[in-house]
Amino acid sequence: MTTIVPTSEDDPVLSVVRLTSELAWADAGPEVAEPQVTSLCFEAQECMVSGRWAELASLMLTSAELITSKVSEKDFECIFTIICTLATRVNSPEEALEMTKLISTKIIQQPNDKPALRLKILFSLYNLLEDPRSRFFVYIKALNLAVNGKVTESIIPSFKMMDQFLQEWNIGKDEQRDLFLTISNILRDNKSTSKESFTFLSKYLTTFSLEEALTTNEEKEEAVHTIIEFVKSPDMFHCDLPDMPAIAQLENDEKYALAYQLLEIFLTRRLDSYIDFHAANSNFLKSYGLVHEDCITKMRLMSLIDLSCNESGKIPYSQVKEALRIKDDEVEYWVVKAIMSKVLDCKIDQLNQLVIVSRRAERVFGLSQWQALRSKLAVWRGNIAGVISTIQSSKLAADEGAQPMQQGVMIW
């Protein structure tokens, strides 16, 4: 394998030009190779002197791609890292963006050849750049490379920083949509990241206004997929999907109305409504890969949440049995399952055959739920203010009572 060694050129860029051109022309023989190498080195020097950085990058990239099979991965990384530094030598953000497009597009041209290493080089390029537009362009290319090169595990950790990235990039709505949808699709392929996929798919849908949702069709399939993912998930019991225009407009859509009805059942109704829906639309459920038994399990837990909405917080065993369509000896099993699934905090009163609920999950958390929470917080704030006032009054009274006693001691 070839190893990069120092040459007479002081600038590492010229060293890379000489190395790559020598390797690229090596098979042609010295009589042909030497003039070509000399010519390329001279051309590179002229580009540097005149500041034609994009032209220099193009020259270097052409030679570099010709020798990928002739150098070690370490040297490959070194060559392309030095080429990436050319993006820092330009004089304006516009030039930096054009240089970035040239370099990153070339890097991802062969996604199946050293994909993990190429992804690493793109991240190096990203970190060298200061212009947000250039950084965003590189990140999108990195996403494409990760997918096409089947190395998505290397880019998934960066998704946790997406909120920070979005603040930095300041990208438009269309770019956000493409980004969120691409990330969701990457995460969708891995069962362990299904929740994260759902989150990014929801973010994608929130970018559509009511007018856009009514006049375009591009988001409808994804809106339906989001509903199906929520229904399928064994540990998601609340969402704000109905508040999204992209979801709400499905209610009156001839093709997708059944998907909206299914969501409505899972968020607002009980098991009997789902069973009726299944009886009438079993083929629809099967077409989306929904398993009837899994849906019943989730709807039983959803029904328990609904039963706990009464003001007393007490649910008789008989109501649980009827709503969940289970036997007497299964009531406590499902209550415990609800506790384990974190949809209820409750106690079981076996003597009185009651489930005493102290907390429940909200199946829908929209505007009305926020208003209810605001009212509760206002009450709690008032109660705390009352307690503080009482403590201060008691302290003041104690201080006033202690003052004469202290004076008496002093006189004594």
Question: Residues 193-210: pLDDT tens digits?
Answer: 989 999 999 999 999 998
Is-contact 294 234, C-beta < 8 A? yes
Q: Which amino acid is at 9?
A: E
Up-side HSE of residue 316: CA atoms within 13 Å toward CB? Answer: 3
pLDDT of 160: 95
Q: Phi, psi (5° rounding) for residue 71?
A: -125, 160
pLDDT the model gives residue 367: 55
| pTM to 2 decimal places | 0.81
- Neighbour-count burial for 69-81, b at 16+ CB within 10 Å, e otherwise: eebeeebbbbbbb
8-17, 91-100, 165-174, 395-404: lowest mean pLDDT where? Answer: 395-404
Interval 54-78 mean pLDDT? 89
pLDDT of residue 55: 92
Kindly state the average pLDDT of the residues 363-384.
70
Judged against a pLDDT cut of 70, whether residue 221 lies above it is answered with yes
Question: What pLDDT is stored for residue 162 in this prediction?
Answer: 97
The predicted structure's pLDDT at residue 371: 66
CA dihedral 140, 143, 149, 152 (to 10 degrees): 170
Let me know if 275 is exposed, middle or buried by CB neighbors in 10 A (0-12, 13-18, 19+). middle
* pLDDT of 11 over the 70 cut: yes
Mean pLDDT, rounded, for 126-135? 96
Question: What letters, b where the CB count within 10 A reaches 16 and e where it falls short, cover 276-302?
Answer: ebbeeeeeebeebebeeeebeebbbbb
